[in-house]
Amino acid sequence: MIKFGKRVVTCRIPILILSLLLLVPSMIGYLHTRINYDILSYLPKDIETMQGQEILLEEFGTGAFSVAVVEGMEPKEAAALKNEISQIGHVKKVLWYDSLADLSIPMELLPADIEKAFENQETNATLMIVMLDTSMSADETLDAVEQIRGLTRQQCLLSGMSAVVADIKNICNSEAIMYVVIASVLSAVVLSLTMDSFLIPLFFLLSIGMAIIYNLGTNFMAGEISFITQALAAVLQLAVTMDYSIFLWHSYQENQKRFYGDKKRAMAHAISNTVSSVVGSSITTVAGFLAMCFMTFTLGLDLGIVMAKGVVFGVIGCVTILPSMILVFDRAIEKTRHRAMIPDLGRIGDFVTQNYVVFAVLFLVILGPALYGYTHNEVYYDLAGTLPEHLESVMANAKLEEDFGMGATHVILADSQLDARQARAMLRELEEVKGVRFVIGMDSVRGPAIPEEMVPDTYREILDNGKYQMMFLASEYKTASDEVNAQCDEIKSIMKQYDPSAMLIGEAPCTQDLITITDQDFKTVSMVSIVLIFVIIAIVLKSISLPVILVSVIEFAIFINMGIPAYTGTVLPFIASIVIGTIQLGATVDYAILMTNKYKKARYQGALKQEAVSAALNSSLQSVFVSALSFFAATFGVGLYSSIDMISALCVLLARGALISLLVVAFILPAMFMIFDRLICKTSAGFLKEKGMQTGSERLPFVVSWRETK
């Protein structure tokens, strides 16, 4: 590796020039990468709800639909608005009162279900069902939503998933840049206080920033990424890969003392040391992210690939771009030198090792409540329910609930050849399901006032294409609630009795599938991440016992982090329970590995158990503290700022997880080393010399302790 370090030092100017040139194609790739704002689109394509949406798009030419709440308009004004909406690109049909009958026919003459569906005379509000010929989150759909809103913002509110997606897009577009700014500024503040130069944090951020742009630019090859990945990728990459820059800087300083100020030689050796150490530790982080690729819910694949790629770019940037910057701008860095403003944490080792029994007892005492909280925290799946109340989609949903008693809207796809008697019988049963507000289908309009032959062709075209018939079902319950999930089960049971091929689709059934799928994904991802990281640690440290200890300690930190919400009454986004544990394990197990390597080295050099553990903690805690604090700073600020609770909650959990992992590594891990030292030495390579070394408290005559060699 020393040859590689020397080449980087020699080619530092070409490396900087090339790194700047590569930003151009990366920015172009980033700007041309589509962002997907629809979480439900990441459900498996082979489940019935997703297949039903494909049929709806292929057979009816209808992908997305929204319910528009129109207030304070006379029938003629509403009809004019309906015609305007119909003229907007990709709006296929608008289903309203006049789709069924002429405005001259009083609403009271229509079947009760139709009147209840379209009119609320007390609030002077009416409903329109707007159907589009593009999918729920397609760019054309979101553009159409904005155009419809542009017609009248005060009297017409759009609800539905497409409207929610449009609002999320607007928030992300306005906040995404600030996420990076906040993370960078807070990280810079932390680094300026904890490092010995005011300028070096700037070069850390510049090199990591370049790696982030390379990562985001190469997402173009995937075609699109989710809005969660877009929002978190830069922040997480900054937080996770900052360790590598800190390690390089500290190694560079140590090697300057070793080589009497020969900075080029010192940097070559620092690069060599960094490659050897960072590549090994970064593999655990990459493994943690790759574990998310095993999710059936493919949002995990999206986030996992992007973040694993980001770690790789971060390592490459750390050993090429950053060293080049430091050498080129050496004079400026030297001029901004200062004394680190945090206290020296290098003397805590004796205290921890002398009181290790206390910390072991604390571990056992806290484990029970932490594990209980971890298994009993509540999660939510309704993304719209956590958005700011001033958003139009949120106001529209509130209006639907207030004026029409409506929550979720389902769509039933059934065989068009279904016998008319059976169809009417099915509709009657569906209308009697608890919480069903109304059902609109072809048979809904066949009442005494409107015979079958008088049903308008336009209405028939909307609901029946000769192969499938479509029914709209309005529920009183909100999406993702226990009530609507039970309702969906009952609806499926009824419709399958009449037509085994019938499908229930819509936001609520999709969310119900999401709940089932992600529950299994949580177990899969947790197991895969633990196994992968366990194997990597076993290979890197050449030990059987250490992987168990290290993974157990970090899992303990995860139990505490994810258990706290159960006691504070905080409801977490569903994705948090899947990805937080994996990210926290992969990112912060590095802290434990760093301390373990130092403990291993001290033990091999002849230090006794307590001396080795104390020295390992003293020599590694400062670096771990700076790393954890910068991780906290990068994520906590974004968590406070973001208006999207899913992003905010994820960042807050990551920030808290970094601090908890820091405390656990500082106090619990040394206690584990003290208790299991004999077992570790017997089941691990490289802890004891081949001959003459004991694992107990007595040292042999020819052994000089690690402390005495200092």
Closest CA to 418 of 506, 494, 500: 500
Q: Rounded CA gap, 201 and 183, in Å? A: 13
Q: Where are the alpha helices (DSSP H) in 127-220?
A: 139-151, 161-194, 200-218
Q: Give the pLDDT confidence of 74-111 residue by residue, as tens digits.
A: 878 888 888 898 899 889 888 887 766 555 555 555 55
pLDDT for 523: 84
CB 270 within 8 A of CB 8: no
CB 471 within 8 A of CB 441: yes
Q: What is the pTM of this model?
A: 0.84
Q: Give the pLDDT confidence of 530-565 residue by residue, as tens digits.
A: 899 899 889 888 999 999 999 999 999 999 999 999
Closest CA to 367 of 563, 550, 531, 527: 563
| Residue at token pair 């309203």 | 96
pLDDT for 154: 61
pLDDT for 99: 65
| Residue at token pair 């992969």 | 586
pLDDT for 504: 92
pLDDT for 107: 56
3-state secondary structure 496-526: HHHCCCCEEEEHHHHHHHHHHHHHHHHHHHH
474 bridge partner residues: 409, 438
Given a cut of 70, the residues of the chain with pLDDT beneath it are 99-118, 121-123, 153-155, 340, 342-346, 443-459, 689-710
Q: Rounded CA gap, 99 and 459, in Å? A: 6
Q: Rounded CA gap, 33 and 391, in Å? A: 26
Closest CA to 658 of 640, 621, 630, 632: 632
CA 546, 549, 553, 559 torsion-angle sign: positive
pLDDT for 97: 72
Q: Rounded CA gap, 226 and 575, in Å? A: 13
Q: Rounded CA gap, 548 and 545, in Å? A: 5
- Work out the burial of residue 614: count CB atoms within 10 Å of its CB; fewer than 13 is exposed, 13-18 middle, 19 or more buried: buried
Please report, in angstroms and rounded to a whole number, the separation of the first and last CA atoms in the chain. 28
Which element (helix H / strand E) includes 457?
Answer: helix 457-463
At residue 126, the 3 state secondary structure works out as: strand
Closest CA to 274 of 39, 623, 566: 623
Q: What are the residues whose beta carbons fall under 8 Å from the beta carbon of 112, sequence distance 6 or more?
A: none
